[in-house]
């Protein structure tokens, strides 16, 4: 298996939060009497989503749509956090854990182009209803993402050998994913009227998904000595909830579009982490753990934008149904007492 296919397999399996570690390991220097723990994570993630491209640039003298390239949006990295805690039941092999993750993201992108002296951007979010413009000079895009999840897990620690542990877990996942998009096109070119400096087409779209569902996963830990371990974690959920979608189009050329949609759907997700951990026990009374790793999450079917592809009424349309991806650095700290 080459590196590219191994990377694709890792993201396909995808996983959990970071570092829900194990107890009662006979290889540990201080068998822990701990009964509680607290955790905190600093997240430096990149959020991206399929189906957000909003403009085409002309690359030849052909008409828009022929000899063009679709714009690529630059998705930056932003800060987030995760906090949580847990209880260890007598016997040290059962644990109960709760985690809250928050990641807010806002991006803005701007495109401008003229070709042969005329505006030449193609508007991908526009409806064919009521417009016949050849191209636009200015296009802008913004995406506001508010992402919150709450995980509740019951874990059972087991050991394949004194240095390698397997921790299956099962529980519930609650998710609140709210997205707002704004796309605007300005200064159009019409083959008859020429340059229209006051023309515009404005799209505002909201996508809100609130859901709950079962969660299942597996954590593994390989101890290497001197307090260091390699950790790998995977988890998946199937969530059921309401999708609320609202699209408003306003144009200088026609009255507008206002569509509200409320549907109930199952949406799957998967997540994964690989990390390097270091832990230290203090007089058998407390333990401190640090972990740095790479997180990846994929949420399928989160972009529910409905696009129109004909000017006939009722207009033919389709849904983007794009996946939301979150990935990046996770720096984790945990304190057992």
Query: Model confidence over 127-177: pLDDT tens digits?
Result: 876 566 668 899 999 999 999 999 999 999 888 788 999 999 999 999 999
pLDDT in tens, the chain (337 residues): 454 544 444 444 433 333 433 334 444 545 556 789 999 999 999 999 999 989 888 766 555 555 567 778 899 999 999 999 999 988 768 899 999 999 999 999 998 887 767 777 888 888 876 566 668 899 999 999 999 999 999 999 888 788 999 999 999 999 999 999 999 999 888 777 788 888 899 999 999 999 999 999 999 999 999 999 999 999 999 999 999 999 999 988 777 888 899 999 999 999 999 999 999 988 777 899 999 999 999 999 999 988 776 555 556 677 889 999 999 999 999 999 9
Do 247 and 194 contact (CB within 8 A), yes or no? Answer: no
- The pair of structure tokens assigned to 291 is 């972990």
Q: Which domains does the chain possess?
A: 3-336 (2.40.128)
User: Which parts of 191-256 are beta strand (E)?
Assistant: 194-225, 228-251
Do 183 and 206 contact (CB within 8 A), yes or no? Answer: no
- Would you call 282 exposed, middle or buried from its count of C-beta atoms within 10 A (0-12, 13-18, 19+)? exposed
| Percentages (nearest 5) of helix, strand, coil residues in the chain | 5, 70, 25
Q: CA nearest 136: which of 170, 116, 157, 113?
A: 113
- Would you call 313 exposed, middle or buried from its count of C-beta atoms within 10 A (0-12, 13-18, 19+)? exposed
What does DSSP assign to residue 249?
Answer: E
Q: Which pLDDT score is estimated for 38?
A: 97
Phi, psi for 13 (deg, rounded to 5): -75, -40
Q: CA nearest 147: which of 100, 94, 192, 89?
A: 100
The pTM (predicted TM-score) of the whole model is 0.85
Q: Which pLDDT score is estimated for 8?
A: 46
Residue 136 CA: distances (Å) to CA of 68, 119, 271, 289, 307: 14, 5, 40, 55, 19
Rg (CA), the chain: 25
Q: Which pLDDT score is estimated for 190?
A: 79
Do 296 and 327 contact (CB within 8 A), yes or no? Answer: yes
- The pair of structure tokens assigned to 190 is 């019409």
Q: Which pLDDT score is estimated for 311?
A: 57
Q: Which pLDDT score is estimated for 35?
A: 86
Residue 332 CA: distances (Å) to CA of 123, 155, 275, 298, 308: 43, 19, 10, 21, 45
Q: Which pLDDT score is estimated for 130?
A: 54
194: left (phi over 0), alpha (psi -120 to 50) or beta: left
- How many angstroms separate the first and last alpha carbons of the chain? 43
């Amino acid at each position: 298996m080459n590196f590219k296919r191994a990377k694709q397999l890792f993201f396909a399996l995808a996983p959990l939060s970071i570092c829900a570690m194990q107890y009662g390991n006979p290889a540990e220097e201080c068998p822990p009497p701990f009964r509680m723990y607290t955790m905190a994570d600093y997240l430096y993630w990149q959020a991206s989503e399929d189906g957000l491209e909003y403009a085409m640039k002309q690359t030849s003298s052909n008409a828009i749509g022929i000899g063009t390239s679709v714009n690529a949006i630059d998705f930056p990295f932003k800060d987030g956090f995760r906090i949580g805690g847990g209880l260890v039941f007598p016997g040290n092999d059962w644990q109960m854990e709760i985690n809250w993750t928050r990641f807010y993201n806002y991006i803005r992108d701007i495109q401008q182009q003229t070709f042969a002296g005329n505006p030449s951007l193609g508007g991908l979010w526009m409806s064919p209803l009521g417009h016949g413009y050849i191209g636009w000079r200015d296009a802008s895009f913004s995406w506001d993402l508010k992402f919150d999840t709450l995980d509740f897990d019951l874990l059972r620690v087991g050991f394949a050998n004194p240095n390698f542990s397997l921790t299956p877990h099962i529980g519930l996942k609650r998710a609140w994913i709210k997205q707002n998009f704004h796309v605007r096109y300005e200064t159009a070119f019409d083959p008859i009227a020429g340059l229209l400096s006051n023309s515009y087409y404005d799209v505002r779209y909201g996508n809100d998904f609130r859901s709950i569902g079962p969660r299942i996963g597996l954590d593994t830990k390989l101890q290497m000595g001197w307090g260091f371990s390699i950790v790998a974690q995977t988890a998946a959920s199937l969530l059921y909830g309401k999708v609320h979608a609202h699209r408003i189009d306003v144009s200088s050329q026609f009255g507008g579009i206002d569509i509200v949609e409320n549907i109930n759907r199952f949406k799957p997700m998967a997540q994964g982490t690989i990390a390097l951990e270091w832990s230290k026990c203090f007089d058998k009374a407390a333990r401190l753990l640090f972990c740095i790793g790479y997180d990846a999450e994929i949420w399928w079917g989160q972009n529910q934008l409905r696009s129109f592809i004909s000017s006939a009424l009722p207009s033919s349309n389709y849904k983007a149904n794009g996946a939301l991806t979150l990935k990046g650095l996770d720096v984790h700290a945990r304190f057992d007492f």
